[in-house]
Amino acid sequence: MVLTVVFGLIVLRLVAQLVLNRLNAAEVRRSGRMPPPSIKAIMDEATHARSVGYTLARLRLGSIEEVFEAVVLAAVLGAGVLSWLYAPFDGWAPGGAWNGALYLLAVSALLSIPGLPFEWWSQFRLEQRFGFNQSTPRLWLVDKLKGLGLLLLIGFPLIWALLSLLRWLHETWWIWGFALLFSFQLLMLVLYPKLILPLFNKLAPLEDGELRTRLLDLADHAGFRAKSIYVMDGSKRSAHSNAFFTGFGRFRRIVLYDTLIAQLPPEELSAVLAHEIGHYKRGHVPKMLAVAAVLQLAGFALIAWLAESAWFNPAFGFRAGALAPTFLLFGLLSGLVTFWFSPVLNLVSRRHEYEADAFASEMVGGPQPMVAALRRLAQKNLSNLTPHPLYSGFHYSHPTTVERERALLAAVNPPAGG
């Protein structure tokens, strides 16, 4: 019965994903044939045609990958591969934390292998075709090896500690497990830009000059005290541009991709910086951390209940009470359920983007710099400006450029009677 339900959820999610992809592809083709006026204001005909081609190519690859992943997951669960792999690890020290941690790491590494050809094709075929790829096969391989090394160096002690809590604290282990993992995640918000990110990219303070002075003055005006703004060499892997906010308190940092600095003039960069500061000033980081904490605590409670149940682990060939397999199964299967709730989280995220845009508009004296920046970034990144509403609800954490521009302009020119 358990396997039947799981296979049903796998099929149900896959069907939903493929339907959403088809709806989105149809919407994109329609806009390609008859671009609405809102699109013509953002992209010229040639750029929009490339955007349509890029979006359709990504949808085709995504559909193939989703079918492949569903087949692999169903085969691994149905054939008992996971329990077969668990037997030798558990045989070393039944119920031990260290061998359970090794098992989880080994299976995670093995399950990532089937997806590597899709990642490679996406980077060196699809992204290359549309002029975005800046990486090399050697750099791609080195990144994978570094990621595997970090998985062992950081993942093993963390997983060992989580599994050991059951032996140390018994029934209340899951409460302390949540506290341990959430504390670790908060610590990583501080350590990631200092210790992890430099392993993959170079971070350097923005050089002295007019741009640095302008951006730091803006940060001061916005009430965001920053010693420096950092530039990341994102161009070593991709021509896509981005900016992000990391850390909290006095450890907060704003990082701009070098591609972003190359693509935007100073007034538009100021708007992008003000947008990132807006996330901080509007309290989006602690709000999302609070949501994540609630969901994580609920997840630990569910894992504890499933591990002790007489039906969950045995359905997949594991003994009841074995915590490491429950962690693995939860990680593999939780997405079958959380997929259906992604529109809710995306709705919250999009609301935060609108609020950060509004803050940016206030800080730079009007919506035009932010509108111009959004238009330029949409052109440079070949953004899909006309996703199907259902697809957007499930996959877009940010509103489209058209939606953001409309909201920015409506704030200064409200409709009659509004």
pLDDT of residue 85: 94
Considering the chain, what is the average pLDDT of its residues?
92
Percent of the chain with pLDDT over 70: 97
Candidate from 64-78, 156-170, 247-261, 298-312 with smallest mean pLDDT: 247-261
Active site residue 267: no
Six token digits for residue 292: 């994540």
pLDDT band at 418 (very low <50, low <70, confident <90, very high): very low
Angle at 215 between CA 213 and CA 221, to 5 degrees: 100
Active site residue 276: yes
pLDDT of residue 346: 96
The count of C-alpha atoms lying within 13 angstroms of the C-alpha of 294, restricted to the half-sphere facing its C-beta, is: 5
168 or 252, higher pLDDT: 168
Query: What does pTM read for this prediction?
Result: 0.91
Average pLDDT over residues 374-380: 94
DSSP 93-162: STT-HHHHHHHHHHHHHHHHGGGHHHHHHIIIIIHHHTT-B---HHHHHHHHHHHHHHIIIIIHHHHHHH
pLDDT of residue 20: 98
Kindly name the residue from 90, 276, 353, 405 that is annotated as catalytic: 276
Kindly name the residue from 27, 65, 127, 357 that is annotated as catalytic: 357
